[in-house]
């Protein structure tokens, strides 16, 4: 697996990012590319570890450890080291329908569980994965592969995000007629409108793969909201099976004084509107240019709000995090192969630091009030420090610390505090059973809902989660849907 002594000879290296102050002037991807010789050297660092944890794909302490789609990582690392790129792509496509997506936006839990990472920097798995598929596209190795035979069965996939796309790709591979319904004007769901261009380019990356799916026989119907434009009854009458992949799109709100003021927006409203305007050649409907911006919440969505605001040319930026600042190295209660909960300066925060002089995040802080400018617009956010204490039930809850109140200016406030679950109208119309968190009730591994011909995958089933888990579930739901339709399945 790679060069037996490679991990002793070579240090971890990643492609250089473009300068933070230069890249905020455009919407192009912020990574540069590594030469082939350097990539092969990085592949050589994959050690013959005997029991590789990188592709285990399990939950430890509630977090992903290893690759949820069980990528054959040691195999394609070795093939890259040996210069066998086409063979590496074949291995990669065995488990991953869309490596150009995961190679760009997955947080790489595989690297967190890399055996080398126990006492050295982990193998650059994510970058090697992205390089393999980019090589494939550049060399014409990625071609449409429509099924040789059709089964005569029709399957509707509701939602064209990560789970929906992977389900559609696999069901089409099995020979079923697949129609994907998407309520937005372009397919891709989260990949199209939830992740900004500088992380995932739309025309050259997302739509390129969707065009290939169309060439393989998948049909996309956009500007069509199932439950309104197509009723639940029509869906059940017209299709042999249905896969629900609607995502968890109900955002978590912050119901404090002033929430109704103009200028306070959900993060996805901001990100969706910006990407659509960019693709349509128009000005963004929510523009942070010249304004003081406060982002409330962390994670990838918070970072994307920071990066997008920087590209608009915001006047100032503060990101409010209610959790404590992570340690620089793994804490004792966060051992390998758990996902490392350590501090990092992501791309958006790096750009804000370069522009304003410091990391924009302030930790153990919450907002208590949005202040009115007298005309119905937000002009400031009232903040206070918090500490986490246990209540009488033993649960940790935030408690405001008196004397730490302060006010920061803000004409744009972006709420990036996660999501509460899927929207309910379609689920109610179908009559599928929900779990206590309002998600579609369906067991992982089976994905079958309370209706035998309806399956659920991704965030609408498991709640807000990683893109790579959505790919895992989309493939799994397709497998079980195929088994339901045909009595057996060859899908992995």
Nearest to 471 by CA among 173, 98, 6, 86: 98
When pLDDT is cut at 50, 70 and 90, the band that residue 307 belongs to is: very high
CB–CB of 206/130 below 8 Å?
A: no
Does residue 2 have a pLDDT over 70? no
Mean pLDDT of 389-405: 94
Domains 6-138 and 154-249+420-486 share a fold: no
Eight-state DSSP code of residue 226: B
Token pair 């002089």: residue: 357
Instruction: Write the CATH number of the domain with boundaries 253-417.
Output: 3.50.50.60
CB neighbours (10 Å) of residue 333?
8
CA 29 – CA 315 distance, rounded (Å): 23
How long, in residues, is the chain? 492
CA 256 – CA 238 distance, rounded (Å): 45
**Chain CA centroid to CA 206, Å:** 13
> Does the global pTM surpass 0.85?
yes
Tens of pLDDT, residues 17-58:
999 999 999 999 998 889 999 999 999 999 888 889 998 999
Nearest to 490 by CA among 312, 482, 103, 398: 482
Q: Report the b/e string of 381-402 with b at 16+ CB within 10 A.
A: bbbbbbeeeeeeeeeeebeeee
CB–CB of 482/176 below 8 Å?
A: yes
- Measure Cα distances from 361 to 154, 295, 345, 365, 403 in Å: 49, 9, 10, 10, 20
CB–CB of 320/414 below 8 Å?
A: no
CA 173 – CA 444 distance, rounded (Å): 22
- Measure Cα distances from 148 to 151, 201, 216, 341, 397 in Å: 10, 32, 10, 46, 57
- Measure Cα distances from 398 to 125, 274, 362, 388, 416 in Å: 37, 33, 15, 5, 18
DSSP labels, 305-356:
HHHHHHHHT-SEEEEE-SSPPPPSS--TTS-TTS--------HHHHHHHHHH
Does residue 210 have a pLDDT over 90? yes
Q: What is the pLDDT of residue 3?
A: 82
CB–CB of 324/363 below 8 Å?
A: yes
Mean pLDDT of 172-191: 98
Q: What is the pLDDT of residue 373?
A: 98
CB neighbours (10 Å) of residue 447?
28
Instruction: Write the CATH number of the domain with boundaries 154-249+420-486.
Output: 3.50.50.60
When pLDDT is cut at 50, 70 and 90, the band that residue 199 belongs to is: very high
Nearest to 412 by CA among 270, 221, 273, 240: 270
Residue 292, φ and ψ in degrees, nearest 5: -80, 125
Mean pLDDT of 207-228: 98
CB–CB of 346/360 below 8 Å?
A: no
CA 119 – CA 9 distance, rounded (Å): 15
- Measure Cα distances from 221 to 145, 225, 246, 314 in Å: 21, 10, 14, 37
Tens of pLDDT, residues 269-286:
999 999 999 999 999 999
Tens of pLDDT, residues 120-177:
999 999 999 999 999 999 999 999 999 999 999 999 999 999 999 999 999 999 999 9
Q: What is the pLDDT of residue 1?
A: 56
Does residue 304 have a pLDDT over 60? yes
Token pair 């002793």: residue: 8
Q: What is the pLDDT of residue 4?
A: 86
CA atoms 440, 441, 446, 450: torsion sign: negative
- Going by CATH, does the domain composed of 6-138 fall within 1.10.1060.10? yes
Residue ranges of domains in the chain: 6-138, 154-249+420-486, 253-417
- Measure Cα distances from 390 to 62, 323, 367, 396 in Å: 21, 15, 21, 4
Token pair 């209610």: residue: 322
- Maximum CA pair distance of the chain? 71
Does residue 313 have a pLDDT over 60? yes
Residue 10, φ and ψ in degrees, nearest 5: -120, 140
Eight-state DSSP code of residue 230: B
Tens of pLDDT, residues 428-450:
999 999 999 999 999 999 999 99
């Amino acid at each position: 697996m790679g060069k037996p002594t490679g991990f002793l000879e070579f240090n971890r290296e990643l492609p250089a990012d473009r300068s933070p102050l230069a890249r905020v002037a455009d919407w192009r991807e912020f990574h540069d590319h590594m030469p082939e010789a350097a990539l092969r050297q990085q592949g050589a660092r994959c050690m013959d570890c005997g029991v590789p944890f990188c592709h285990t794909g399990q939950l430890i302490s509630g977090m992903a450890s290893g690759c949820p789609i069980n990528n054959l990582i040691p195999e394609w690392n070795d093939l890259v080291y040996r210069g066998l790129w086409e063979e590496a792509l074949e291995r990669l496509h065995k488990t991953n329908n869309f490596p150009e997506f995961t190679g760009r936006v997955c947080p790489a839990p595989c690297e967190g569980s890399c055996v080398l990472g126990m006492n050295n920097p982990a193998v650059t798995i994510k970058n090697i994965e992205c390089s393999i598929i980019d090589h494939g596209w550049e060399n014409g190795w990625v071609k449409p592969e429509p099924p040789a035979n059709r089964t005569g069965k029709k399957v509707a996939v509701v939602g064209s995000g990560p789970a929906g796309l992977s389900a559609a790709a696999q069901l089409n591979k099995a020979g079923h007629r697949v129609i994907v319904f998407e309520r937005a004007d372009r397919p891709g769901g989260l990949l199209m409108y939830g992740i900004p261009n500088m992380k995932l380019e739309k025309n050259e990356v997302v739509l390129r793969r969707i065009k290939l799916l169309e060439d393989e026989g998948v049909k996309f119907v956009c500007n069509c909201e199932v439950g309104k434009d197509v009723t639940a009854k029509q869906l059940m009458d017209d299709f042999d099976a249905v896969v629900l992949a609607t995502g968890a799109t109900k955002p978590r709100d912050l119901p404090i004084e002033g929430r109704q003021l103009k200028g306070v927006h959900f993060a996805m409203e901001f990100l969706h509107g910006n990407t659509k305007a960019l693709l349509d050649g128009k000005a963004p409907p929510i523009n942070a240019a010249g304004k003081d911006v406060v982002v409330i919440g962390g994670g990838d969505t918070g970072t994307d709000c920071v990066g997008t605001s920087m590209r608009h040319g915001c006047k100032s930026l503060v990101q409010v995090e209610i959790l404590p600042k992570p340690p620089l190295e793994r804490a004792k209660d966060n051992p390998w192969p758990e996902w490392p909960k350590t501090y990092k300066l992501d791309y958006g925060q790096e750009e804000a630091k370069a522009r304003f002089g410091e990391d924009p995040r302030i930790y153990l802080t919450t907002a208590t009030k949005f202040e009115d400018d007298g005309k119905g617009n937000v002009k400031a956010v009232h903040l206070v420090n918090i500490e986490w204490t246990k209540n009488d039930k033993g649960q940790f809850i935030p408690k405001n610390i008196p004397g730490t109140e302060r006010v920061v200016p803000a004409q744009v406030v972006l709420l990036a505090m996660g999501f509460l679950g899927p929207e309910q109208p379609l689920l109610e119309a179908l009559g599928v059973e929900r779990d206590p968190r309002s998600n579609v009730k369906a067991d992982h591994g089976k994905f079958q809902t309370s209706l035998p011909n309806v399956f659920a995958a991704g965030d609408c089933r498991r709640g807000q989660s990683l893109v790579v888990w959505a790919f895992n579930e989309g493939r799994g739901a397709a497998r079980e849907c195929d088994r339901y339709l045909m009595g057996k399945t060859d899908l992995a």
